[in-house]
Amino acid sequence: MKHLAIVPGDGIGKEVIDVGLKVLDAVSEVSSFDYDGELFDIGSDRYLSTGELLTQEDIDSLRKKDAIYFGAIGDPRVKPGILEQGVLLKMRAVFDQYINLRPVTSWFPFVPLKREVPFDIHFLRENTEDFYMGAGGTFNGSKKDAHVKVKREMYELEMELRTKSSNNDDFAFEIGLLSRKGITRFAEYAFNYAKAKGHKKVTLVDKANVCTHIYGMQREIFEAKAKEHGMGLDYMFVDAMAMAMIVRPETFGTVAVPNLFGDILTDLGSQLQGGLGMGGSGNINPKGVSMFEPIHGSAPDIAGQKKANPVAAILAGEMMLKNIGYPKEGEMLRKAVRYCLDNQLTTADLGGKLNTDAVGEAVCKFILGQKK
């Protein structure tokens, strides 16, 4: 019996997670997978009535779960950033979910490329370091000192910046930081992941010709790890990678990418595979609690209308099942999605006529039909 935390969140998050749970129920009827789900009321409604974002009580309860199934967060009534930072980013940080897994699969016929070549890119984005550390500040002629403080599971870091400029202008800075320990565990995960997928190499994306310090150290550590694992290692500069994803996406397997570039490339990837409604994402701590979510947000413009495409949430469910030890069951979800796409059983964003629940019902029907 697996214990899941269910966090539907806001907007269409609620609608797609509702479908995702029905799909998990269907899987549990036809396989040995069994679960109990505890519902967590985390999101804008609670924030607006109590002022609470992610509480210590939430954290303590979530920590006891095998995985977190997350919908989306965001609400037009709340200033942008509050919910995202107070819930989503905090969750990733508290549980040290240092890998963001975002597969990019050619879900034909929704791939917008001219060539019909199948591809399956497994993006592993480092989730805790790089230019997204929140390590920045400002200084000018009169305020010459800047203090940067970073707290991570692996370390706490303080930096003092004493500045002297030739004019009295305002300056702002954002530090991109990588640690040896952080890169090492990222590389270890990447090579193990590639091996498990039957890939012979890892492609490391960076901009080591410009940001020589951080990405130079990253290359050194990935090279050592490649040797240790007896695996291949390729490098791609991020600008070249953006082009290659359009021109030859079929040539990539496991791709390791630092935080900032990963954010951008995986959004490009989500459009390549057919849009926001098609992408699942995993925030993974291999030794802790991982969280699985659709890559789209709460989409307030279509919330409450049953227009949301539930496929991304279902594919997040697939990743969750595979991650908690049910690979065959995860594959059922993937096959069911493929069946729906092949038979035009889709929501309007994919040109279909069904609403959110009806797509869910079609997926469940397909899965239940697998019963021996």
Q: What are phi and psi of 135, to 5 degrees?
A: -100, 90
Q: Is 342 in the site for ligand ATP (CB under 6 A)?
A: no
Q: Is 103 in the site for ligand ATP (CB under 6 A)?
A: no
Identify which of residues 43 and 253 has a Cβ nearer to ligand ATP in the complex: 43
Q: Is 42 in the site for ligand ATP (CB under 6 A)?
A: no
Residue nearest to ligand ATP (CB): 297
C-alpha of 21 from chain center: 19
Q: Is 345 in the site for ligand ATP (CB under 6 A)?
A: no
Q: What are phi and psi of 344, to 5 degrees?
A: 55, 30
Rounded to the nearest whole angstrom, what is the least distance from the CB of residue 48 to ligand ATP in the complex? Answer: 17
Identify which of residues 179 and 271 has a Cβ nearer to ligand ATP in the complex: 271
Give me the residues paired with residue 130 across strands. 177
CA atoms within 13 A on the CB side of 283: 23
Nearest in space to 224 (alpha carbons), one of 197, 269, 190 = 190
Burial class for 44, CB neighbours closer than 10 Å (0-12, 13-18, 19+): buried
Give the binding range for ligand ATP (CB under 6 A) out of 136-144, 157-165, 167-175, 298-306. Answer: 298-306
Identify which of residues 183 and 295 has a Cβ nearer to ligand ATP in the complex: 295
Rounded to the nearest whole angstrom, what is the least distance from the CB of residue 60 to ligand ATP in the complex? Answer: 26
Q: Is 99 in the site for ligand ATP (CB under 6 A)?
A: no
Burial class for 372, CB neighbours closer than 10 Å (0-12, 13-18, 19+): exposed
- Tell me the chain's radius of gyration from C-alpha atoms: 21
Identify which of residues 88 and 208 has a Cβ nearer to ligand ATP in the complex: 88
Between β-strands 201-206 and 232-237, what pairing exists: parallel, antiparallel or unpaired? Answer: parallel
Q: Is 276 in the site for ligand ATP (CB under 6 A)?
A: yes
Options 9, 74, 274, 352; binder of ligand ATP; rule CB under 6 A: 74
The CA-based dihedral angle spanning residues 357, 358, 363, 368, taken in that order and rounded to the nearest 10 degrees: 100
Q: What are phi and psi of 239, to 5 degrees?
A: -65, -40
Options 122, 185, 296, 334; binder of ligand ATP; rule CB under 6 A: 296
What are the distances in angstroms from CA 157 to CA 39, 98, 177, 179, 340? 36, 18, 11, 11, 49
Q: Is 308 in the site for ligand ATP (CB under 6 A)?
A: yes
Options 127, 128, 298, 323; binder of ligand ATP; rule CB under 6 A: 298
Tell me how many helices (H) and strands (E) the chain has: 12, 14
Residue type, 19: V
Return the sign of the alpha-carbon dihedral for residues 147, 179, 93, 235.
positive
CA angle 121, 247, 127 (to 5 degrees): 35
Give the binding range for ligand ATP (CB under 6 A) out of 133-141, 147-155, 158-166, 293-301. Answer: 293-301
Q: Is 5 in the site for ligand ATP (CB under 6 A)?
A: no
Q: Is 354 in the site for ligand ATP (CB under 6 A)?
A: no
Identify which of residues 217 and 358 has a Cβ nearer to ligand ATP in the complex: 358
Span 128-157, contacts to ligand ATP by CB under 6 A: none
Give the binding range for ligand ATP (CB under 6 A) out of 56-64, 205-213, 254-262, 292-300. Answer: 292-300
Residues 6+ apart with CB under 8 A from 131: 174, 175, 176, 259, 260
Rounded to the nearest whole angstrom, what is the least distance from the CB of residue 294 to ligand ATP in the complex? Answer: 6
Q: Is 336 in the site for ligand ATP (CB under 6 A)?
A: no
Options 44, 105, 309, 346; binder of ligand ATP; rule CB under 6 A: 309
Span 162-221, contacts to ligand ATP by CB under 6 A: none
Give the binding range for ligand ATP (CB under 6 A) out of 106-114, 167-175, 176-184, 306-314. Answer: 306-314
Q: Is 340 in the site for ligand ATP (CB under 6 A)?
A: no
C-alpha of 175 from chain center: 23
Q: Is 360 in the site for ligand ATP (CB under 6 A)?
A: no
Residues at the interface with ligand ATP (CB under 6 A): 12, 74, 276-277, 296-299, 301-302, 308-309, 312, 349
